[in-house]
Structure 1
Amino acid sequence: RSLFLRIPKRPVVLGTMAMAPDDVEDLKKRLRQHDQMYASMQQQGKPFEALEHLEKGLFVRKELYGPEHPEVGRVCQVFTTSCNTLAMNSLQRDNHMLAYELLKKAEILTSPSGYISDNKMRMKLRAVTFNNFGCFYKRRGKLHAALQYLAKALKIELTSEEVDNPAGTHLNLCATLSQLGRHGPALEHAQCALELLEAMQDSREKGEGGGAFGQQNTTDDGSILAIAWHNIAVEQEHLGMLDAGLTSYEQAVIVAEREWGAGHIKTLAIKHSLEEAKHKASTRRSPVKPHAGHSMQGVASKAASPLDSILNPASSAPGLKGQGGFRQSNIAAKKGPSPLQKGGAKVGIKAYPAGG
């Protein structure tokens, strides 16, 4: 339920404006209507219609309470989270214009001039937004723009204790750099992601907690760990480190079987990449003339392609009192195997389920 102010029978100052009681009552009525429609659209599974009423309710709150009121900041956080979630869903459906508009709103609202007074939460959401912009531009093939946004996200994550673990951003940077042919730096980012994830696992095993992150995202961390090992293997393969790549693929399979199960489609896809890498390694040790039209480069591309669409989860926008999010994982099959991309927003308002 929304928080409403008690209005005396004289003009009052709300925010920076003096309003008569009738004007205040009108705003309160509009706010109730938008909140009711927001809840109704959520229940009907219409997230974009719900977002429209959430946005209108946000600006009614700003007019009613003033931009510094905690209620305005709280709803702004929910709205920003929803914008990120729906932007990534739209991107998956190739609705690039809508995805851009939603991310741009999130970028504006997480700026210093936005309505989120809690600076730690603002920077947390800003890092998520920049990460998603990186995914957006990578999807559009604008790799240098993607790198700029991902670098901004990583800078925030490395200088703030309150943001998501930067492992996901490192993996996005890995995927983008790999597509640019910069496999050395790509490998370094994948290895950074692995180190961060393993350090978090060690902290949990030692009972050092990790707050909401440690309690709520063990499974998600495990999934990212499988992706990290896979990306390391891919980049090692690109750099001609075939034996090291095989070891990394094997580690990716071990983690994938533990997290997803041996028969899961994602696990099977990573196993397929491992088998293709083994075949490539054995062929190099004992050269065999490939069949016509089936170069080793073509084999490598085929190894990566099964993962192109199966690591793309979808989610709905969060409610005012709920939490929601989105993490995108993607493999783009270009020339040779491509690393997994880990990105998208996974944020919450009351209990923050960190992870990217």
Structure 2
Amino acid sequence: MSDTENIDITNLSEGKVEKYIQQLENSILKRTTMYGLNDVTMMKQNHILCKLLNQQGLIALQKQNYEQCIEYLRKAELATIYVPELKVQTFNNLACYYRKMGKTRTALQYLQQALSIELQQKQSTSLPDIYLNLCAVLSQLERHEEAIQHIYLSIIMLQHELLISTFQKPEQRQDQPNEQLFPSRQSSVQYVNSVKSHCNETKKQQERMSILVVAYHNLGVEMEHLKLQFESKKIFQSALLLSEQCLPQEHQLRHTLEEIIKKYNTEQQQLVNEQLTLKPLLPKVHQKNSELKQIYNSVSPKQIIKRNTQLQSMKNNQYKNFKFMKKNSYTETYRLERDRIMSINATTDVIIKNQENKDISNLPFLKTALDTVNQTTIF
């Protein structure tokens, strides 16, 4: 089998993706058996297979074909053993699946693995998406303070990415002004490729803008959860303005934002009448400060002396109560034992006197009485 093994790509263009995936899997298996795990062609095929499986998994997820989705994504997870650079993408997609199925803790575990891998990379492009998904999962787990911190990071990184791409465009125009003004100087192939790359770049920028709108929307939702009504309204307004620039008019998110703004406008008079109070955007930090202040007050010298005095007085009272109870218990035991011994002695004296007087008519009764007294012994 030659290194340049041909795979029928026409099946992919015709939509027969399943057959193309099977051809890739069979080819990878054969090349691994013949050439080992270091075969370059096999690694390239694994890379293509993993990307294709992720793509088909997301398509199946959108079509709500969950069994086929998890089948594709599990195969992609196995393929990442040979393609570690696609682990982040695969884990991110698996998290989307498990979140859709309601298994939020499993989704959180996959996202944490993806985040730990991505943070170690020198150049990262997936961090905004991971933080966005982390926000959604943490919000479902009612951990809104952590969710809002992750969505802040996602928005900052998305804005930075869009700003960089915006500043790069004028530089490209200055570097190649003649090629854009006079495309005839280029070959037809080069010109078509430059137009395609420009269209792809514009499309990618629009996609990132739409993700930024989603991030703004999620930030507004988390602020509502944290009772930051005034701040959430401003965020939703910014999201609506941005959606009008980058989303089509029939987009569902755009309609959702319009409905949210209408709701806020109907409640505007009520919000204006309420007293505006500034709340911390990160309540967890504020809570920690109050807890530290409370701990400091509890370990102050005055509090320690007061607490030690209270403990000592409690110990003394417990010791006095114990001595009193012990004394009373001894007194009660002594009284019962004394009465028992006196009863035995009195009965014995009567028996002896009756025997001396040779009056044995009451002897059986006295013996029965003596046995009854002996049964009440307290030991």
- In the superposition, relative to structure 1, how do residues 180 and 285 fare at CA in structure 2: closer, same or farther (>3 Å)? farther
Q: What's the counterpart of residue 273 of structure 1?
A: 260
What amino acid sits opposite 1:143 in the alignment?
Answer: T
- In the superposition, relative to structure 1, how do residues 281 and 46 fare at CA in structure 2: closer, same or farther (>3 Å)? farther
Q: What's the counterpart of residue 352 of structure 2?
A: none
Q: What's the counterpart of residue 44 of structure 1?
A: 14
Q: What's the counterpart of residue 45 of structure 2?
A: 75
Structure 2 counterpart of 1:133, from 94, 103, 112 = 94
What amino acid sits opposite 2:146 in the alignment?
Answer: P
CA deviations over 1:60-84 (Å, ceiling 9, x no partner): 3333443212211111011001111
Aligned pairs for 1:198-237 within 5 A: 198-207=159-168, 215=201, 217-237=204-224
2:118 corresponds to 1:157 = yes
Aligned pairs for 1:162-181 within 5 A: 162-181=123-142
Give, in angstroms, the shift of residue 163 of structure 1. Answer: 4.4
- In the superposition, relative to structure 1, how do residues 134 and 264 fare at CA in structure 2: closer, same or farther (>3 Å)? closer
2:62 corresponds to 1:92 = yes
CA deviations over 1:229-286 (Å, ceiling 9, x no partner): 1111111111111111011101111111111145544322221222224435545556
Structure 1 counterpart of 2:28, from 58, 72, 85 = 58
The question of whether the paired residues in 2 share the 8 Å contact of 1:249 and 1:274 is answered with: yes
Q: What's the counterpart of residue 319 of structure 1?
A: none
- In the superposition, relative to structure 1, how do residues 279 and 151 fare at CA in structure 2: closer, same or farther (>3 Å)? farther
Aligned partners of 2:34 and 2:124: how far apart in 1?
Answer: 31
- In the superposition, relative to structure 1, how do residues 245 and 4 fare at CA in structure 2: closer, same or farther (>3 Å)? same
Q: What's the counterpart of residue 183 of structure 1?
A: 144
How many residue pairs were aligned? 246
Aligned partners of 2:88 and 2:124: how far apart in 1?
Answer: 7
Q: What's the counterpart of residue 315 of structure 2?
A: none
2:196 corresponds to 1:196 = no
SS at match of 1:102: helix
Q: What's the counterpart of residue 77 of structure 2?
A: 107
Q: What's the counterpart of residue 315 of structure 1?
A: none
The question of whether the paired residues in 2 share the 8 Å contact of 1:147 and 1:176 is answered with: yes
Give, in angstroms, the shift of residue 4 of structure 1. Answer: 2.5
Aligned partners of 2:246 and 2:222: how far apart in 1?
Answer: 23
Aligned partners of 2:265 and 2:223: how far apart in 1?
Answer: 13
Aligned partners of 1:166 and 1:60: how far apart in 2?
Answer: 36
More strand by percentage: 1
SS at match of 1:207: helix
Aligned partners of 1:172 and 1:86: how far apart in 2?
Answer: 20
- In the superposition, relative to structure 1, how do residues 79 and 282 fare at CA in structure 2: closer, same or farther (>3 Å)? farther
Give, in angstroms, the shift of residue 153 of structure 1. Answer: 1.0
Q: What's the counterpart of residue 2 of structure 2?
A: 4
Aligned partners of 2:43 and 2:139: how far apart in 1?
Answer: 39
Aligned partners of 1:163 and 1:51: how far apart in 2?
Answer: 29
Identity across matched positions, percent = 26
- In the superposition, relative to structure 1, how do residues 48 and 140 fare at CA in structure 2: closer, same or farther (>3 Å)? same
Larger Rg: 2
What amino acid sits opposite 2:240 in the alignment?
Answer: V
Aligned partners of 2:250 and 2:70: how far apart in 1?
Answer: 37
- In the superposition, relative to structure 1, how do residues 239 and 152 fare at CA in structure 2: closer, same or farther (>3 Å)? same
Aligned pairs for 1:4-23 within 5 A: 4-5=2-3
Residue ranges of structure 1 left out of the alignment (5+ in a row): 6-27, 117-121, 288-356
Aligned partners of 1:263 and 1:91: how far apart in 2?
Answer: 22
Give, in angstroms, the shift of residue 47 of structure 1. Answer: 1.9
SS at match of 2:52: helix
Residue ranges of structure 2 left out of the alignment (5+ in a row): 172-196, 275-379
Work out which structure has the larger RCO, using CA pairs closer than 8 Å and 6 or more positions apart in sequence: 1
Give, in angstroms, the shift of residue 225 of structure 1. Answer: 0.8
Aligned partners of 1:163 and 1:199: how far apart in 2?
Answer: 12
More helix by percentage: 2
